[in-house]
Amino acid sequence: MSSWREFIRDVEPYVPGEQPRGDSVIKLNTNENPYPPAPGVERAMREMDPAMFRKYPDPSAGMLTEALAKRYGLERDQIFVGVGSDDVLGMAFLTFFNSQKPILFPDVTYSFYPVWAQLFGIPYETPRLDADFRVKPQDYKRDNGGIVLANPNAPTGIYLPLDQVEDIIKANQDSVVIVDEAYIDFGGESAVPLIPRYDNLLVVQTFSKSRSLAGMRVGYAMGQKELIQALHNVKYSYNSYTMNMPSMILGTEAVKDEAYFQETTRRIIATREEAKRRLGDLGFTCTDSRTNFLFITHEKAAAPELFEALKNNGIYVRYFPASRTKDYLRVTIGTEEEMEVLYKFLESSCLDRI
């Protein structure tokens, strides 16, 4: 064995959702928005001058940070943007979690968190969610090197009320608390209003879900200026030109159209609530999702068998085989037409035989 192989960093990578090809599949497995981006995004795409691509993009993503600051009532230097919220979160792990104390995040949550912790050599512990998959705030009131909470959580979809989020932040003012709000626009109260009160709070959001721009990879963090400056310092020490110019331009246009954003999220929420009812009629139990997906289980149909049956019929959902999630499927909310295809398959599939 060659000696260089001994020094390769050995990590267990994050496994993204499958990306099936073809127009005939019903893709409900990666929590993408089923509707197109705001009309201004398409217009801006048509008007782009290809000559702009010969120059480096603005490393500060000024036009986008300005639009986000205006939308959230913050200053520009309270916004940090990156290539999707994964890039932003990974940069935050690298920037803020450098003590020898373990960081804390739930045992059932976004599965990228332990990957970053292992990659950067960060010790971590995973307080157990209760039997209903809910965070127990008291579990986060102990010595730690930082806290990460997805709210609403994934893959469970469950939302932690803002007063309980603040209780955790207040109890941990000696460490950075990251609130990952990838799904907050589908039914929760954001922690952004808490930013002026807590200098240890970082709120992370994304354009991939509610703003229909998963393909452009736009994410952002919001916090007090000292936190944001620390993120920039690490970013510029690693790669100063992380966001491409089209993402800045199209992301800015997406932020501007508040009416379209509100209407799209309303449609998804309405379809989600109807899906809870329809799936409940078919014998499924759903968590109280406040996201653009449902976390479902069936008393008679085993999740892995149902996952394969759906896939064999061109309907893709997500299955997590870990011990606490092995009986559940995560189903993204699609268009009403896509959801009807799902319901009809389940109605005709003899669920008790799967």
pLDDT in the model for residue 352 = 61
User: Over 70: is that where the pLDDT of 263 sits?
Assistant: yes
User: Over 70: is that where the pLDDT of 350 sits?
Assistant: no
Q: What is the share, in percent, of the chain residues with pLDDT greater than 90?
A: 89
User: Over 80: is that where the pLDDT of 67 sits?
Assistant: yes
pTM score of the predicted model: 0.95
User: Over 90: is that where the pLDDT of 20 sits?
Assistant: no
Sign (positive/negative) of CA torsion 217, 61, 74, 86? positive
Per the model's pLDDT, the better-predicted residue between 298 and 1 turns out to be: 298
Asked if residues 103 and 147 have their Cβ atoms less than 8 Å apart, the reply is yes
Q: How much is the average pLDDT of 85-106?
A: 97
Amino acid at 229: Q
Cis peptide before 36 (omega within 30 of 0): no
At 9, is the pLDDT very low, low, confident or very high (cuts 50, 70, 90)? confident
Task: Specify whether the backbone of 31 is left (phi greater than 0), alpha (psi in -120 to 50) or beta.
Answer: left
Asked if residues 108 and 156 have their Cβ atoms less than 8 Å apart, the reply is yes
DSSP string, 26-66: EE-SS---SSPPPHHHHHHHHH--GGGGGS---TT-HHHHH
Residue 100: count of CB within 10 angstroms of its CB: 7
User: Over 90: is that where the pLDDT of 351 sits?
Assistant: no
By C-alpha distance, which of 73, 107, 110, 177 is closest to 324?
107
Distance of CA 99 to the CA centre of its chain: 26
Q: How much is the average pLDDT of 65-87?
A: 97
User: Over 80: is that where the pLDDT of 73 sits?
Assistant: yes
**What backbone torsions phi and psi does residue 227 show, to the nearest 5 degrees?**
-65, -45
DSSP string, 199-256: TTEEEEEESSSTTS-GGG--EEEEE-HHHHHHHHHHHHTT-S--S-HHHHHHHHHHHH
Residue 19: count of CB within 10 angstroms of its CB: 9
pLDDT in the model for residue 4 = 86
* Residue 106 structure tokens: 């739930």
At 354, is the pLDDT very low, low, confident or very high (cuts 50, 70, 90)? low
At 353, is the pLDDT very low, low, confident or very high (cuts 50, 70, 90)? low
DSSP string, 62-112: HHHHHHHHHHHT--GGGEEEESHHHHHHHHHHHHH--SSSPEE--SSS-TH
Give me the chain's average pLDDT, please: 95
Q: What are the residues whose beta carbons fall under 8 Å from the beta carbon of 76, sequence distance 6 or more? A: 62, 65, 66, 69
By C-alpha distance, which of 79, 95, 52 is closest to 244?
52
Helix, strand, or coil here: 269? helix
Sign (positive/negative) of CA torsion 121, 324, 320, 211? negative
126-130, 219-223, 260-264, 348-352: which range is least confident on average? 348-352
pLDDT in the model for residue 235 = 95
By C-alpha distance, which of 346, 345, 305, 312 is closest to 326?
305
- Alpha-carbon distance of 188 to 27, in angstroms, equals 25
pLDDT in the model for residue 6 = 84
Q: How much is the average pLDDT of 52-63?
A: 94
Task: Specify whether the backbone of 75 is left (phi greater than 0), alpha (psi in -120 to 50) or beta.
Answer: beta
User: Over 90: is that where the pLDDT of 155 sits?
Assistant: yes
pLDDT in the model for residue 1 = 58
User: Over 80: is that where the pLDDT of 74 sits?
Assistant: yes
pLDDT in the model for residue 100 = 93
* Helices and strands counted in the chain (H then E): 10, 13
- Alpha-carbon distance of 67 to 252, in angstroms, equals 6
By C-alpha distance, which of 347, 341, 323, 318 is closest to 20?
318
